[in-house]
């Protein structure tokens, strides 16, 4: 029986990667570094990494907050969280931890200075998840998220149908299909919102500032 909380792409590789706690694809590391920089974190800051997976962004986030800050990962899959915890133990990070829970219901304490969602469309495009996460941010906190989208460039017609066909097989059944603006649910809640496209328009990196609960508008 398929694991309902572990996407297919992780079920295929997650156990194979456990002996290699620092494994990550080289081409994605510069994007992770850029995402962490856009959070504008400082030492002693607290940052949420929701949909953290095996912790690929932990090195960049931990470097940004230093030894006096805190990185809290949220991962729905216990099987994937094992890998994230292996990475933490491998580096001896005392200020990085993982909460194994859905973003929609994870219990968080205190306020955070940044929200990071890397390859987590079931989080940044889900009203139920954002309703749980955004109230845990300080006014002025930075929000950064990365994911797949359909390309509006001339070559988009080549791979857009394939992307939309494969996406449900590799992710959760509830994950929305990629479209040209997958940031539509979250963007109205952020000030100074910006988007940068990657990989010929099939990926994006978006960022903005959370102004606080009084300024949040319904999507």
Instruction: Write out the residue range of the structural domain in which residue 154 sits.
Output: 24-173+197-207
Angle between helices 29-38 and 58-65 (to 10 degrees): 30
The answer for residues whose C-beta is within 8 angstroms of residue 203's C-beta and 6 or more apart is 31, 146, 147, 148, 149, 197
Q: Are 3 and 173 in contact (CB under 8 A)?
A: no
Digitized pLDDT (tens) for each residue of the chain, 219 residues in all: 456 777 666 777 788 888 888 989 899 999 999 999 999 999 999 999 999 999 999 999 999 999 999 999 999 999 999 999 999 999 999 999 999 999 999 999 999 999 999 999 999 999 999 999 999 999 999 999 999 998 888 877 778 887 787 777 667 767 787 889 999 999 999 999 999 999 889 999 999 999 998 654 433
Q: Tell me the CATH number at 133.
A: 3.40.50.150
Kindly state whether residue 156 falls inside one of the protein's structural domains. Answer: yes
Structural domain tally of the chain? 1
Kindly state whether residue 114 falls inside one of the protein's structural domains. Answer: yes
Kindly state whether residue 77 falls inside one of the protein's structural domains. Answer: yes
What is the predicted pLDDT for the residue at 8? Answer: 66
Distances (CA, A) of 13 to 16, 20, 149, 150, 191: 5, 12, 23, 25, 38
Kindly state whether residue 181 falls inside one of the protein's structural domains. Answer: no
Tokens describing residue 22: 């620092």
In whole angstroms, what is the distance from residue 128 CA to residue 112 CA? 19
Kindly state whether residue 44 falls inside one of the protein's structural domains. Answer: yes
> What pTM does this model have?
0.89
Distances (CA, A) of 30 to 1, 23, 115, 159, 199: 37, 14, 19, 24, 12
What is the predicted pLDDT for the residue at 162? Answer: 77
Distances (CA, A) of 85 to 52, 73, 79: 11, 10, 10
């Amino acid at each position: 029986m398929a694991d309902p909380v572990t996407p297919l792409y992780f079920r295929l590789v997650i156990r194979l990667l456990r002996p290699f706690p620092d494994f990550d694809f080289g081409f994605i590391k510069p994007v992770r570094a850029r995402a962490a920089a856009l959070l504008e974190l400082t030492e002693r800051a607290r940052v949420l990494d929701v949909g953290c997976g095996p912790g690929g962004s932990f090195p960049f986030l931990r470097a940004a907050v230093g030894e006096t800050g805190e990185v809290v990962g949220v991962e729905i899959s216990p099987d994937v969280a094992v890998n994230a915890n292996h990475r933490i133990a491998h580096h001896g990070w005392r200020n990085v931890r993982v909460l194994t829970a859905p973003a929609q219901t994870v219990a968080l304490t205190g306020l955070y200075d940044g929200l990071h969602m890397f390859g987590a469309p079931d989080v940044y495009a889900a009203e139920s998840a954002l309703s749980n996460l955004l109230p845990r941010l300080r006014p002025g906190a930075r929000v950064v998220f990365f994911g797949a989208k359909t390309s509006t460039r001339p070559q988009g017609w080549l791979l857009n149908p394939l992307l939309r066909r494969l996406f449900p097989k590799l992710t959760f059944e509830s994950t929305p299909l990629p479209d040209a603006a997958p940031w539509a649910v979250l963007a109205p809640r952020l000030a100074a919102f910006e988007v940068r496209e990657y990989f010929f328009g099939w990926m994006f990196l978006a960022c903005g500032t959370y102004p606080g609960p009084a300024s949040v508008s319904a999507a």
